[in-house]
Amino acid sequence: MIYNILNGDSLAYSVPDTKIEGDVIVVREGLIDGDLSGDNLHDFWQSRAKYMELTETEYHRNVVKEFEKIRNAPDNSEFNLWFEYDLFCQVNMWFVISIINSLPIKKKVFAVYTYYLDKTSKQFWNGFGPANSEELKVCYANKILLSKADINLGRDLWEAYKNNNLDELVNLSKNQSSAFPYLQEVVKAHVDRFPKDGTKGRPEKVIEDITKNISTDFHKVFKEFWDRESIYGFGDSQLKQLYDKVMRNR
């Protein structure tokens, strides 16, 4: 069985047009923020549902049901992970890898990245959105096979992230892997959110600078933040929380 695991619904509208083989699984989570507590998946799902202000039934229907497709995969399955380079996507990818790693089946795991993009492009860190069918086919054709060491690394990255073990994340980011090509940059961006000296995190400092020198309008702040710090991959909800915090403390 072949599965194409997509980070978000927008890509789910594009991939079928490519006629690429495989069933589609959509990750509808944003593990870059919120409660990650829970010693098992059941408790973890409860924590996430509560954080997202959804009933357990709603969360199961919209989110858990997709992850269960991974957990129920048959022997000799192939998983193609369509995730971008930014922190938002990478954290979700680490979690997916941790689930795949726990499956007692033979499997192959591939990472599909945005190869059609130039590193200097503003869309680089979050770039499947503008891709047409032909470009998505190029991404798929250049997919990277994850070794057992890569899968273990993804699992360990998730555990360190979930437990907020920043020192371990930094240590893990020193591993060289084609499956995680910008790991050090992404981990640094995450660590910079939580300075050890108790000062404001990197995203808040950037938002503060934007609101002081460019505009306090959220939409303009959002656009400018993306131009400067697209490595985070923040969506509206993540940035709005930080924006509101900065504005309250002005």
Q: What is each CA distance from 224 to 88, 112, 126, 155, in whole angstroms?
A: 18, 28, 15, 33
pLDDT of residue 237 exceeding 90, the answer is no
What local confidence, expressed as pLDDT, does residue 193 receive? 96
For residue range 91-105, what is the model confidence (pLDDT) as tens digits?
999 999 999 999 999
β-pairing, 144-145 vs 107-112, is: antiparallel
Please give the structure tokens belonging to residue 118: 């130039």
- Residue 2, pLDDT > 90, answer yes
Tell whether the model's pLDDT for residue 20 goes beyond 90: yes
Q: Which helix (H) or strand (E) holds 235?
A: none
pLDDT band at 249 (very low <50, low <70, confident <90, very high): confident
Q: What is the DSSP string of 178-189?
A: TTSTTHHHHHHH
Question: Average pLDDT of 188-195?
Answer: 96
% of the chain with per-residue pLDDT over 90: 84
Q: What is the pLDDT of residue 118?
A: 64
pLDDT value, residue 166: 97
> 3-class SS at 6?
strand
**Unique residue bearing structure tokens 């240590």:** 171
Please give the Cα distance from 189 to 160 (Å, whole number). Answer: 15
Q: How far apart are alpha carbons 193 and 84 in whole angstroms? A: 20
